[in-house]
Structure 1
């Protein structure tokens, strides 16, 4: 399941980051988004979703949200 399919307000654990793009991998890692880390979807938007990672909120577009497996 990806972040786009996640329920709002439920805490999930990131299982994997599925991308071939090293730059995207490095960006997500810098946000604290890596395997084993808890993540919560705050809301779904037309172009992606807003998530909470380590007490910070981020707006992720559809491409980033599809890359995160929970």
Structure 2
């Protein structure tokens, strides 16, 4: 399932990043979003997601949330 379908304040483990675009994969990797890492959705506002990875908060759009498979 993708992170976009996840529930708020529930920790998930990233299984893989489902995208063919290398730049998106590299961007998520720089945030610390790679297989085995824990990610939590803090809030959803419209198509923006506030996520917590390694005690840091990031804002991502729905396309990125759909690429993160949990």
TM-score, normalising length: structure 2: 0.96
Paired residues, what number?
70
CA shift at 1:23, angstroms?
Answer: 0.5
1:20 and 1:41 map into 2 onto residues whose CA distance is 24
- Structure 2 counterpart of 1:50: 50
- Structure 2 counterpart of 1:60: 60
Unaligned runs of 5+ in 1: none
1:50 partner SS? strand
Task: Give the conservation status (yes or no) of the 8 Å contact 1:4–1:48.
Answer: no
TM-score, normalising length: structure 1: 0.96
CA shift at 1:45, angstroms?
Answer: 1.6
> Does residue 36 of structure 2 align to residue 36 of structure 1?
yes
CA shift at 1:27, angstroms?
Answer: 0.5
Runs of 4+ in 1 over 4 A off after TM superposition: none
CA RMSD of aligned residues (A): 0.7
Unaligned runs of 5+ in 2: none
